[in-house]
């Protein structure tokens, strides 16, 4: 941990109040708290970096999986991304309305849909990937080295695997 434990500076226009630094106690050593903070910071950074992009973070994952798994079904996407069926439907409906994906009935089971990227969807997918790479780079900045980033990803991966096995 860097910095003096338990304290944090707050900005603001020099309030006459007695508090300029708050005692944080054990809060910053709580994983749930830290995860939430960093994730929120990431989302804000994304929104700020790509303000007019007309897509959401979830779209990146969905487009990416469809691109790599042609004829994947919505339910397979839902299971893989741990998103519920209703949410997947909304995302796919929007992507469909934008002409980025096709949703056809499965030949083998008419209840299922098979998903593919359109030519436009493929181009958009590549464009989004470039944006995301840039957002990642600028978010991390020089805070972590490449080794530390993969270390971080590895630790998060292990938490996720254990959490998923507990479902």
What residues numbered 54-73 form the site for a second copy, per CB under 8 A? 57, 60-61, 64-65, 67-69, 71-73
How far apart (Å, rounded) are the C-alpha atoms in residues 19 and 28?
Answer: 19
Tell the smallest beta-carbon distance from residue 92 to DNA (Å): 5
Centre a 10 Å sphere on the Cβ of residue 76 and count the other Cβ atoms it contains.
15
Does position 79 interact with a second copy (CB under 8 A)? The reply is yes
Q: Which does residue 32 bind out of DNA, a second copy, none, counting CB within 5 to 8 angstroms by kind?
A: a second copy
How far apart (Å, rounded) are the C-alpha atoms in residues 113 and 109?
Answer: 8
Tell the smallest beta-carbon distance from residue 110 to DNA (Å): 3
Tell the smallest beta-carbon distance from residue 37 to DNA (Å): 9
Hey, what are 23's tokens? 């005692």
Candidates 50, 94, 131, 140; binder of a second copy (CB under 8 A) is: 140
Identify which of 130, 108, 106 has the alpha carbon closest to the alpha carbon of residue 116: 106
Instruction: Check if the beta carbon of residue 45 is closer than 8 Å to that of residue 135.
Output: yes
Site pattern 85..124 for DNA (x: CB under 7 A): xxxxxx-xx---------x--x--xxxxx-----------
Site pattern 89..128 for a second copy (x: CB under 8 A): -----------------x-xx--x----------------
Instruction: Check if the beta carbon of residue 28 is closer than 8 Å to that of residue 37.
Output: no
Hey, what are 50's tokens? 């790509």
Tell the smallest beta-carbon distance from residue 16 to DNA (Å): 8
Please state whether 6 falls in left (phi above 0), alpha (psi between -120 and 50) or beta.
left
């Amino acid at each position: 941990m860097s910095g003096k434990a338990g304290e944090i500076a707050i900005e603001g226009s020099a309030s006459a109040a007695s508090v300029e630094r708050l005692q944080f106690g054990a809060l910053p050593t709580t994983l749930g708290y830290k995860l939430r903070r960093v994730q929120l910071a990431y989302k804000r950074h994304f929104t700020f970096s790509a303000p007019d992009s007309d897509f959401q973070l979830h779209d990146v994952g969905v487009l990416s999986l469809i691109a790599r798994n042609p004829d994947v079904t919505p339910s397979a996407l839902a299971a893989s991304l741990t998103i519920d069926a209703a949410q997947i439907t909304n995302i796919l409906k929007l992507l469909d309305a934008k002409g980025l994906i096709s949703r056809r009935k499965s030949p083998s089971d008419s209840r299922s849909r098979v998903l593919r990227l359109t030519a436009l969807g493929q181009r958009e997918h590549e464009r989004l990937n470039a944006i995301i790479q840039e957002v990642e780079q600028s978010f991390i900045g020089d805070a972590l080295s490449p080794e530390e980033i993969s270390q971080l990803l590895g630790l998060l991966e292990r938490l996720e695997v254990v959490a998923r096995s507990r479902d």
